Amino acid sequence: MKLSRTVTYALQATLLLAQSERGEPIPCSRLAAEGSMPERFLLQILRSLVTHGILQSTRGVEGGYTLDRSPEQISLLEIIEAVDGPLNTKLPFADCKPGDCESRLRDTLSSIAAAERQQLQEVKVAHLIGPAKLEKQLTG
């Protein structure tokens, strides 16, 4: 699976926020510096994550970004689709006759794409930050 640079930055920023002190907003500039990401590009990505209900934005001097939900509730699929749109399951063989090889190929690739979506939905941010960080967040 190939991930775009946009998705990579979105995942990286979300993981940084998941590992931070719960409730403490982190400015875009700090996320960009910690993740070696371009700040202006990251700002656009963070806005998209806010729009899709993954992050929350706080304005002001003490402002920044926090997770809108717990790490156990945010899936990789949500993050990917928030910045890149829905995973493409449409294939170029729309006019296949049932039973021909192109039809079988389309059906096989559609099945693989559905499995990929399901697996990405099952992987939560909490799985990626590890149990020690998650426990610290829940008790801290």
User: What is the overall mean pLDDT for the chain?
Assistant: 86
What CATH number is given to the structural domain containing 47?
A: 1.10.10.10
Asked if pLDDT for residue 119 goes beyond 90, the answer is yes
Angle at 33 between CA 28 and CA 35, to 5 degrees: 95
Domain of 14 in residue numbering reads as 5-139
Task: Provide the pLDDT for residue 96.
Answer: 61
Token readout for 19 is 């590992």
What is 6-50 written as a DSSP string? HHHHHHHHHHHHHHSPTT--B-HHHHHHHHT--HHHHHHHHHHHH
Measured between alpha carbons, how far is 54 from 80 in angstroms, rounded to an integer? 11
Q: Report the number of distinct structural domains present in the chain.
A: 1
Count the neighbouring beta carbons within 10 Å of the beta carbon of residue 133: 16
pLDDT tens for 33-83 read 999 999 999 999 999 999 999 999 999 888 999 999 999 999 999 999 999
Task: Provide the pLDDT for residue 134.
Answer: 47
pLDDT tens for 14-32 read 999 999 877 789 999 999 9
Does this model's pTM top 0.85? My answer is: no
Asked if pLDDT for residue 139 goes beyond 50, the answer is no
| Contact in structure between 18 and 138 (CB atoms under 8 Å) | no
